[in-house]
Amino acid sequence: MIHLTDDIQYLTGVGPNRANLLKTELGIFTIYDLINFLPFRYIDRSKFYSIAELAPSQAAVQIKGRFVSKQIIGTGAKAYLKAIFTDGTGRIELTWFKGIKWIDPSIKAGIDYVVFGKVADFHGILSMTHPDIEELAKFINHSQAEFQGVYPSTEKTKKANITGKVMRTIMENAFVNLSPSEIKETLPQYLLEKYQLPDLNTTLRTLHMPSNLNQISKAQLRIKFEELFWVQLVMAMRKQKETETIKGHLFIRSNDKLLPTFYKEHLPFPLTRAQIRVMSEIRKDVESGKHMNRLVQGDVGSGKTLVAVLAMLMAIDNGYQACMMAPTEILAQQHAKSIQELLKDLPIRVAVLTGSTPKKTRTEIAEGLLDGSIHLIVGTHALLEDTVQFKNIGLSVIDEQHRFGVAQRAKLWSKNEIQPHVLVMTATPIPRTLAMTLYGDLDVSVIDELPPGRKPIKTTMLRDTQRQKMYDLMRNQIALGRQVYIVYPLIQESERMDFKDLEAGYEIITQIFPAPKYKTIMVHGKMKPAEKDEAMQKFASGEAQIMVATTVIEVGVNVPNATVMVIESSERFGLSQLHQLRGRVGRGADMSYCLLMAGNKLTKEGQSRLEAMVQTTDGFQLAELDMKLRGPGDIEGTQQSGLPISFKLANLARDGQILNLARNEAFAIVAKDPSLTNAENAHLKAGLKQRNTNTVSWRDIS
Ligand code: ADP
Ligand code: MG
């Protein structure tokens, strides 16, 4: 008998060499690790296909027949082995480029073989490259399982011949020698019953030694549910803990004086229904005595700034200060300007603090914040400096939150003894499932509606060879008095090359659109802030019609007269970034255009991304798609989170329903038993402790 904590080295079929590789390459040290190392897919060997029914692009299939001929073609490193195989219904070519030495002698005439591989079709000739072959007699002898798990592997494990077959044998050995009682159930019994999930012992045995597809999918469901359940239980506990321990400032409605005046007299337009809904969600939080930690997601242009302003007015009405932090100088200045404009007739002192604020002004601001005479401050990272201290901050708003590191945010809301309420805003919509996982302990509000009267943006994808169309559109729009952005990708690793692209692009544009008839400015990240501002100013004022820029303009620039966004090498951008860039146009009353320029070599994924951009302008839809195409780990803003967003089996792009169930169950448990002290929850508490997820909490750091 073996035990879960045993070293894998002593398991039959492993030994010191394999054990070493399993440990270093796959992280498998103990029997526990081993049986929790799961196949990520299964091969169906339950059926033999006839060659006549084979079609290309099928998953790997299994056929049975004899070799007609074999031939080694070419010499030396370029030699390859080609064999013709038939089952009486048709012929197929089998090819090997490697391992010819072994394969060649194992191919004999007059014997039945089983061949297993993926079918390709080259000019009407069916073929398989590097199929598995085995003599039928031997194949039957060791009675292959019909469904075989495929395990993750690395170059080194492959080289050492730790094949799927080896892994399956090792697993079988483990289970044969492991008493079922060793594998203790981790989920509450009533959940297994409610969702008809197999127990853990059955689940693991099934996943490693399955006998039918239905069983496999039930076992996978159980693992997915469990993976998501633990994360949500952590989130539920954190949220609960905060509700108990952190008090929030009370913003009492009857203290509101400025807010009603603003609504009645200064609000430039009616709020959208979505804005109203989010406001009431915020209102509920700040009236409750709880500490608000809310994420507001809203597409570009959905009017998040106004929501932030209204929330800040609530704080100010109640005698508190409010601050708003933005990721760039330009954005901070723009926010300050529009907020000053909105509040100009109200007795509110608004200040702005950025890296370029002169020393003298800084000192004045520091004083004003400390004595409370400044009510509202907008700024960049400069707000985080220790010299910035508030008299009484009640609300911190963080715009485009994904641009800030966790520590930076934490610093902002630790500026007072009692934490200010926190409103984080993001214009990079993230899929709901990802939000529930990443920000599962925050409350999430969604502004899912754009203010009325927005003209849609017409998006077109153009190949480099169709550049004339781009110039035509630019010329027409500029003749109508409109302005144009041309954006080049800027990727850190090859910054210099990208910069060359940008400069070359600028050269060409100024030749095709020559001065003095046209004025073109160039903006990039290497410019000094003052230079950049000057250039931006020329564009904002309409003096320049064309801006050639890197993605520095991605966030927040607002020039309603700009109607054309050209994105160069658009295949190099992620979907959410493309969406952000496109959001720079379509801000005025005029029809706007987005041109996605693409090189002639496009990957399939690149093509799907650009096609999605052409088809929809809905940021949430695009975010869902982005996650499907690139996986949750590549979505902007998630990399640095350190949170478990990739799982062994659960997939946030596909398993939204399971996530919902898991979340509801986890939160229900914590609602009934906040610190999991009831006996029935004892093993959940222990499970949490054991998992002790090394993750950052948005709440713990605050
Ligand atoms: P974002 O959500 O991208 O931050 P903004 O807050 O910058 O969007 O708003 C985009 C534009 O929409 C601004 O010009 C703003 O004045 C305008 N806007 C906001 N709310 C409304 C509304 N309810 N009705 C009409 N226009 C609005
Ligand atoms: Mg904004």
Tell me which amino acid residue 653 is.
Answer: A
- 211-248 pLDDT, tens digit each: 887 889 899 999 999 999 998 998 898 888 877 777 88
Q: What is the pLDDT of residue 429?
A: 73
Average pLDDT over residues 654-669: 91
Residue 230: other Cβ atoms inside 10 A: 22
Unique residue bearing structure tokens 């689940």: 203
Q: Answer yes or no: do 261 and 329 share one domain.
A: yes
Place of tokens 């910054």: 495
pLDDT score, position 669? 96
Q: Do 270 and 136 sit in the same domain of this protein? A: no
Please name which ligand lies nearest the alpha carbon of 303.
1
* Closest protein CA for atom 9 of ligand 1: 303
Atom of ligand 1 nearest to the CA of 300: 3
Ligand 1 center from residue 395 Cα (angstroms): 21
* Same domain, residue pair 284 and 329: yes
Is 698's pLDDT higher than 60?
no
Cβ count within 10 A of residue 28: 22
What mean pLDDT is predicted for residues 158-176? 90
Residue 514 belongs to what domain range?
458-616
Give the residue ranges of DSSP H helices in 59-177.
100-106, 136-141, 155-159, 164-177
> Does ligand 1 come within 6 angstroms of the Cβ of 306?
yes
Count CA atoms within 13 Å of residue 534 on its CB side.
5
* Mean pLDDT confidence for 391-406: 78
Q: How far apart (Å, rounded) are the C-alpha atoms in residues 341 and 486?
A: 29
Question: For the sheet containing 483-487, what is the strand order?
Answer: 457-463, 592-598, 562-567, 483-487, 546-549, 520-523
Ligand approaching nearest to the C-alpha of 276: 1
Residue 639 has pLDDT above 60, yes or no: no
Q: What residues are paired with 117 via a beta bridge? A: 61
Instruction: Give the CATH number of the domain where residue 74 resides.
Output: 2.40.50.140
CB 225 within 8 A of CB 658: yes
List residues bridging with 127 in a β-sheet.
Answer: 93, 120
User: Which pLDDT belongs to residue 248?
Assistant: 87
Q: Tell me if 269 CB under 6 Å of ligand 1.
A: yes
Q: List, in order, residues 6 or more apart from 86 with CB less than 8 Å away.
A: 51, 65, 66, 68, 92
Q: Whose CA is nearest to atom 15 of ligand 1?
A: 303
Q: Which of 51-65, 398-412, 542-556, 587-601 has the lowest mean pLDDT?
A: 398-412
Are 646 and 611 contacting, i.e. CB atoms less than 8 angstroms apart?
no
pLDDT score at 699? 41
What type of residue sits at position 550?
A: T
DSSP label of 291: P
Ligand 1 atom 24, closest CA:
451
CA gap 14, 162 in Å, rounded:
10
Q: Ligand 2 center to residue 558 CA distance, Å?
A: 9
- 145 pLDDT band (50/70/90 cuts)? low
On the question of pLDDT at 469 being above 50, the answer is yes
Residue 649 CA to ligand 1 center (angstroms) comes to: 41
Q: How far is the CA of 603 from the centre of ligand 1 (A)?
A: 36
Check pocket membership of 272 for ligand 1, CB cut-off 6 A.
Answer: yes
**End-to-end Cα spacing for the chain:** 49
Nearest CA to ligand 1 atom 13: 303
Instruction: Give 228's contacts (C-beta < 8 A, 6+ positions apart).
Output: 437, 647, 650, 655, 658, 659, 662, 663
DSSP-derived secondary structure letter, 374: -
Mean pLDDT of 160-182: 91
CA nearest neighbour of 167 among 29, 34, 61, 62:
34
Separation of CA 111 and ligand 2 centre (Å)? 71
pLDDT in tens, 408-443: 555 655 556 678 998 988 877 777 777 777 777 788
Identify whether 333 is part of a domain.
Answer: yes
**343 in a structural domain:** yes
pLDDT confidence band for 329 (50 / 70 / 90): confident
Predicted local confidence at residue 29, as pLDDT? 95
* Residue 497, CB-side half-sphere exposure with 13 Å CA sphere: 4
Assigned domain for 192 exists: no
Quote the CA–CA distance of 214 and 216 in Å, as a whole number.
Answer: 5
- Best probe residue, ligand 1, of 272, 278, 305 (max atoms within 8 Å of C-beta): 305
For the ranges 131-140, 462-471, 596-605, the one whose mean pLDDT is highest: 462-471
298 lines ligand 1 (CB under 6 A): yes
401 lines ligand 1 (CB under 6 A): no
Q: Of the candidates 433, 429, 421, 431, which has an alpha carbon nearest to the alpha carbon of residue 447?
A: 429
Residue 320 has pLDDT above 90, yes or no: yes
Q: 356 and 396: one domain?
A: yes
- Closest-approaching ligand to the CA atom of 338: 1
For residue 641, name the pLDDT band (cuts at 50, 70, 90). Answer: very low
Q: Residue 566: what residue type? A: V
What's the pLDDT band for 673 if we cut at 50, 70, 90?
A: very high
CB 39 less than 6 A from any atom of ligand 1: no
Cα Rg for the chain, rounded, in angstroms? 31
Of 243, 325, 240, 253, give the one whose Cα is nearest residue 282.
253
For 502-547, the pLDDT digits (tens) are: 888 999 999 999 989 999 999 887 888 788 878 888 998 999 999 9
Select from 90, 120, 143 the last residue of a domain: 143
Check pLDDT > 80 for residue 140: no
CB atoms near residue 187 (< 10 Å): 21
Ligand nearest to the CA of 579: 1
Is the separation of the CB atoms in 488 and 499 below 8 Å?
Answer: no
Comparing 579 with 442, which gets the higher pLDDT?
A: 579
* Ligand 2 mean position, distance from CA 640 (Å): 22
Query: Which of 616, 645, 661 lies at the terminal end of a domain, its last residue?
Result: 616
Is residue 527 domain-resident? yes
Residues 6+ positions from 274 with CB-CB distance below 8 Å: 298, 302, 446, 447, 448, 449
For residues 279 and 334, membership in a common domain is answered with yes
- Minimal-distance CA residue to ligand 1 atom 26: 451
Which atom of ligand 1 is nearest to 269's Cα?
24
Residue 105 shares a structural domain with residue 117:
yes
What distance in angstroms lies between residue 161's CA and the mean position of ligand 1's atoms? Answer: 60
Please indicate, yes or no, whether residues 402 and 511 belong to a single structural domain of this protein. Answer: no
- Distance of alpha carbon 501 from the chain centroid: 28
**How close is the Cα of 521 to the center of ligand 1, in Å?**
27
Both structure tokens of 599: 């090189």
Spacing, Cα 298 to ligand 2 middle (Å): 9
For all residues of the chain together, what is the average pLDDT?
86
Q: Is 167 among the domain residues?
A: yes
Q: Distance, CA 88 to ligand 1 centroid (Å)?
A: 70
Q: What is the CA angle 597-601-607, rounded to 5?
A: 65
Task: Inform me whether the pLDDT recorded for 407 exceeds 60.
Answer: no
Burial 61-97 (b: 16+ CB within 10 A, else e): bbbbbbbeebeeeeeeeeeebebebebeeeebebbbe
Judged against a pLDDT cut of 60, whether residue 496 lies above it is answered with yes
Domain annotation covers residue 607:
yes
What is the CA(575)–ligand 2 centre distance, in A? Answer: 18
On the question of a cis peptide bond just before residue 452, with omega within 30 degrees of 0, the verdict is: no
Beta strands 350-353; 376-379: pairing state: parallel
160 and 30 in one domain? yes
Residue 53 lies in a domain: yes
Instruction: Determine the distance from the C-alpha atom of residue 407 to the mean position of all C-alpha atoms in its chain, rounded to a whole number.
Output: 20
Q: Would you state the pLDDT for residue 671?
A: 92
Decide: 580 in ligand 1 pocket, CB within 6 A. Answer: no
**555 in the same domain as 491:** yes
Boundary (domain end) residue, out of 143, 165, 194: 143
Bridge partners, residue 398, by sequence: 325, 424
State the average pLDDT over residues 347-357: 94
Q: Is 446 in the pocket of ligand 1 (CB under 6 A)?
A: no
Asked if residue 374 belongs to a domain, the reply is: yes
The mean pLDDT of 570-587, rounded to a whole number, is: 87
Decide: 301 in ligand 1 pocket, CB within 6 A: yes
CA of residue 68 to ligand 2 center, whole Å: 69
Give the position, in ligand 1's atom list, of the atom nearest the Cα of 275: 23
Q: Is a pLDDT exceeding 70 seen at residue 128?
A: yes
CB atoms within 10 A of CB 647: 18
- The per-residue pLDDT for 530 is 81
Q: Contact, 230 vs 687, CB < 8 A?
A: yes
pLDDT of residue 416: 61
CA 335–ligand 1 middle distance (angstroms): 11
Question: How far apart (Å, rounded) are the C-alpha atoms in residues 618 and 80?
Answer: 51
Q: What angle do CA 458, 461, 466 make, to 5 degrees?
A: 115
Shared domain check, 35 and 5: yes
CATH of the domain at 158: 1.10.150
Q: What is the CATH number of the domain that holds 339?
A: 3.40.50.300
CA–CA dist 39, 150 (Å, integer): 5
Q: Are residues 262 and 376 in the same domain?
A: yes
Structural domains counted in the chain: 4
**Pairing mode, strands 321-325 and 393-398:** parallel
Instruction: Write the single-letter amino acid at 170.
Output: I
Quote the ligand 1 centre to 696 CA distance (angstroms). 32
User: Which DSSP state fits 14?
Assistant: T
Burial class (CB in 10 A: 0-12, 13-18, 19+), 512: middle
The pLDDT assigned to 441 comes to 76
Which residue, by CA, sits nearest to atom 23 of ligand 1? 271
Residues 6+ apart with CB under 8 A from 417: none
- pLDDT of 640 reads 43
Nearest CA to ligand 1 atom 1: 301
> Which ligand number lies closest to the CA of residue 324?
2
pTM, two decimals, is: 0.69
9 and 122 share one domain: no
